[in-house]
Amino acid sequence: MTQNLLANETSPYLLQHRDNPVHWQAWNADSLALARREGKPILLSVGYAACHWCHVMAHESFENDDIAQVMNELFVNIKVDREERPDLDLIYQTALSMMGEQGGWPLTMFLTPDAEPFWGGTYFPATPRFGRPAFPQLLQGIAETYRTETDKVLQNVAALRDGLAKVARPPAGEDLSIEVLDTAAAHAVRMVDPVRGGTTGAPKFPQPSFFRFLWRTYRRTAAVMFRDAVTVTLDNICQGGIYDHLGGGFSRYATDPVWLVPHFEKMLYDNALLVDLLTEAWQETTSPLYATRVRETIEWVLRDLRTGDGNGGAFGLAGAFDADSEGVEGKFYVWTADEIDALLEADAEAFKQAYDIRPDGNWEGNTILNRSHTLALADDDAEATLARCRETLLAVRAKRIPPQRDDKVLADWNGLMIAALANAGAAFDRPDWIEAAQSVFSFVHETMSDGTRLYHTWCAGRPAHAAVLDDYANMSRAALILAEVTGLKSYIDLAETWVEAADSHFWDGADGGYFLSADDTDDVISRSKTIADNAVPSGNGTMVEVLARLFHVTGKTAYRDRAEDLIRALSGGPDQHLVNYGTMLAAYELLDRAVQVVVIGPPADPATDALLRTAFTASLPNRVLTRLAPDTPLPEGHPAYGKGQIDGAPTAYVCVGPTCGLPVTDPEALGAALANG
């Protein structure tokens, strides 16, 4: 007799369901064998710990004894954490899309005993609502169809199988060009809300990868429409309710068109990508607002997401905070005017004016703190008063029951934050942020690796689940950025090792491109490829950047050739789709026209540091920096190969393509050369 087996898992999401009366199984060989043995269809439920509607469906249906009895009688019920198994989620989300349905979570899919999909949806209410059928009646109907209309089920299975096979082999394209990038950017910028930023309409997602592509288009073309599209977006989200003005960090998205009402879950990856984009924009604008939000967000990450101390104090970063606390979405974060008056007393009026606090609230009778009425910071004295008020409120908020934290350490998401910490640490001259990046990197490398192969997750003291492409891509990118800011070649060596693993286990030798799942992943019905950016940059797009960086720092043409093969394999299809490939397009520009900066000098020399500071603060998105001790040779394929110090002084070279400028020893001269670059 089956039973609920989720108590044996480490995923916080799966453990949320361990006491359900549903006989949940985890996705593994035993549960799939059970379905085949009993001849029952599989009810696959996919979600994640911070998912609000996942909680709603759990409370309504999975905790209901009567509904659970129907599920247990008619199906083998399998629960999957999408963050643990993004490859499974991608397969079945793709299948749902092929059925003409909008994807999302919870994902509810019905599979044959061989795990092939034949019907599905997302959230289903326990009683008929929102135009959706009641879940119990749906279960009865699906089971009856599976039992009595075999031909219909098999037709669906075959059609979806063929569709998934085609998705795994997207049409190849031609070589990219800067003109193609300009065309894609012109199309993309027309999608932007010129007043509130983001793309038009609601809900509003920050979409850092999309806006990073537009920002780089501005830096390449100097066309202000691209700059304004990015800055109006960043200004609005930095001052809107989507930002946690007390604790720091950004929520997943806003449910409205003005960035006021967030979906209150806070994810590591969103904050990593926004820190990176804000840092890049600050290097050009020197906006105090951007600098403040970068600092506050990093402080939140290192304070509230730190988990899993390992060797030498290395630590990983947890994945997310839930949207709900005490079963209510947003309860932890909102305030009333009476609370503000009582806590802040003489400062209350100024704080209420600054943060849109009204007697009747701005959302469901409560107030979501925001400063959307002004997109700039106040003067120093006013900001000091507001900071003191925020500290008071934060101390009170800390006594509330917090949302649940998802303690999974995910290699790919940690890679994104490592890179963001390293980039911000270099730009803002914060060695402590760089040290934190190195600590997180060490945790993943030492705790979530067997030497050459990575694990995707770590939780409850142990690693689990084979890494997917995104893990290798994001950790390799993180390694290469750490190599820039620390000068340690060991990071380049690790990136090369991980790229070799990606080439061995993920590369499609027939059609090109990298699969999301490795070739020895034996529990998936199809191997998919991620091309378009979604909430996170696509794994293939990031691999183009990794290969481009490796080509530039090592001079090995095999990396350039593989990057070009990858671009050609995945850049086909309609031109309008290119707006979804921002990471790949930006990586192509890095491959095509990187500005390589070489700084040669003793590591502890103030003159060396001055040259490095100039390079790191410059607004130069396509920078690839190599720092060398004196008498350390560059690779033979590097354009500055054979060059050294001038008169024994720390010296910098700026190279574009195969050509390098004259050596410079003065930081101002280097700044001028970089501005021209």
The last residue of one of the domains, among 142, 167, 192, is 167
Average pLDDT score over the chain: 95
Residue range 269-296, pLDDT digits in tens: 999 999 999 999 999 999 999 999 999 9
Same domain, 463 and 560: yes
User: Is 569 among the domain residues?
Assistant: yes
Residue 311 has pLDDT above 90, yes or no: no
CA angle 13, 46, 529 (to 5 degrees): 115
Residue range 178-203, pLDDT digits in tens: 999 999 999 999 999 999 999 999 99
For the full predicted model, state whether its pTM sits above 0.85: yes
Same domain, 613 and 543: no
pLDDT band at 375, cuts 50/70/90? confident
Same domain, 64 and 101: yes
Residue 131 has pLDDT above 80, yes or no: no
Residue range 465-483, pLDDT digits in tens: 999 999 999 999 999 999 9
User: Is 457 among the domain residues?
Assistant: yes
Distances (CA, A) of 443 to 309, 422, 565: 8, 15, 33
Can you give the CATH number for the domain in which 490 is found? 1.50.10.10
The token pair that represents 407 in the structure block: 């303690």
The token pair that represents 54 in the structure block: 């996942």
How many residues are listed for the chain in this entry? Answer: 677
Same domain, 193 and 318: yes
User: Is 188 among the domain residues?
Assistant: yes
Which residue reads 């999909």 in tokens? 117
Going along 251-390, which residue ranges are E strands?
253-254, 262-263, 266-267, 306-307, 316-321, 324-325, 328-329
Same domain, 529 and 641: no
Which residue reads 């599209």 in tokens? 229
Same domain, 491 and 618: no
User: Is 172 among the domain residues?
Assistant: no
The last residue of one of the domains, among 344, 363, 397, is 397
Structurally, the chain folds into a number of domains equal to: 4
For the chain, what percent of residues have pLDDT higher than 70? 99
Edge-to-edge strand list for the sheet holding 42-47? 25-26, 76-81, 42-47, 107-111, 117-121
Same domain, 532 and 575: yes
Same domain, 208 and 337: no
How do beta strands 76-81 and 25-26 pair?
Answer: parallel
CA angle 590, 592, 594 (to 5 degrees): 45
Residue 578 has pLDDT above 90, yes or no: no
Which residue reads 């492409």 in tokens? 469
Can you give the CATH number for the domain in which 655 is found? 3.40.30
User: Is 257 among the domain residues?
Assistant: yes
Same domain, 477 and 589: yes
The last residue of one of the domains, among 561, 593, 625, is 593
What integer pLDDT is reported at residue 611 of this predicted model? 98
Q: Which of 109 and 531 is assigned the larger pLDDT?
A: 109
pLDDT band at 312, cuts 50/70/90? confident
**What average pLDDT does this structure show over 327-345?**
96
User: Is 497 among the domain residues?
Assistant: yes
pLDDT band at 543, cuts 50/70/90? very high
pLDDT band at 171, cuts 50/70/90? confident
**What average pLDDT does this structure show over 457-461?**
94
User: Is 173 among the domain residues?
Assistant: no
What integer pLDDT is reported at residue 1 of this predicted model? 57
pLDDT band at 561, cuts 50/70/90? very high
Q: Domain range holding 380?
A: 333-397
What integer pLDDT is reported at residue 129 of this predicted model? 80
Can you give the CATH number for the domain in which 59 is found? 3.40.30.10
Same domain, 513 and 589: yes
Same domain, 549 and 576: yes
What integer pLDDT is reported at residue 174 of this predicted model? 81
Same domain, 256 and 372: no
Which range is least confidently modeled, 334-338, 450-454, 670-674?
Answer: 450-454
Residue 615 has pLDDT above 60, yes or no: yes
For the chain, what percent of residues have pLDDT higher than 90? 90
User: Is 194 among the domain residues?
Assistant: yes
Which range is least confidently modeled, 53-62, 128-137, 389-398?
Answer: 128-137
Residues 546 and 177: their CA atoms lie apart, in Å, by 19
